[in-house]
Amino acid sequence: VQLQASGGGLVQPGGSLRLSCAASGRTFSSLDMGWFRQAPGKEREFVAAIRKSGGSTPYSGSVKGRFSISRDNARTTVYLQMNSLKPEDTAIYYCAATGRGLITSTMTLERMYDYWGQGTQVTVSS
């Protein structure tokens, strides 16, 4: 599976961005998808995930209510809509995929994902 993330950039606090992650190499509808991020000097952390069916979308507490994950199986793409961005959202954002068929409690775990994109930089600054 190849994952290509895009959509990052520089945005002011309070602004919005939409990240995209295009997948190829395997039937997209068989993959659970996730977004993770890594800020400078910090470990990579979970942001959001979505089941292959489009249901069960856990979010980290720091983004819940501001970010929204969705997928378009026809376009083999997963999205992360990010609203009300804060400086602390600054990070490299990675999309990830797995065909394991995760239960909800494991969708937040980095080690459960087998395929990773290259990351896209998001910088929130005035």
Give pLDDT, residue 26: 79
Give pLDDT, residue 53: 86
Give pLDDT, residue 105: 86
Average of per-residue pLDDT across 117-122: 96
Question: Are the CB atoms for 110 and 46 separated by under 8 Å?
Answer: yes
Between residues 105 and 86, the one the model is more confident about: 86
**Measured distance CA(24)–CA(124) in Å, rounded:** 30
Give pLDDT, residue 61: 94
Query: Strands 9-11 and 120-124: what pairing?
Result: parallel
DSSP count for the chain of H helices, then E strands:
0, 10
Average of per-residue pLDDT across 21-30: 91
Question: Are the CB atoms for 38 and 95 separated by under 8 Å?
Answer: no
Q: Name the band, by pLDDT with cuts 50, 70 and 90, for residue 55.
A: confident
Percent of the chain with pLDDT over 90: 88
Give pLDDT, residue 2: 95
Work out the mean pLDDT of the chain and round it to a whole number: 95
Distances in whole angstroms, Cα of residue 28 to Cα of each of 31, 42, 72, 100, 121: 5, 30, 9, 13, 24
Between residues 53 and 11, the one the model is more confident about: 11
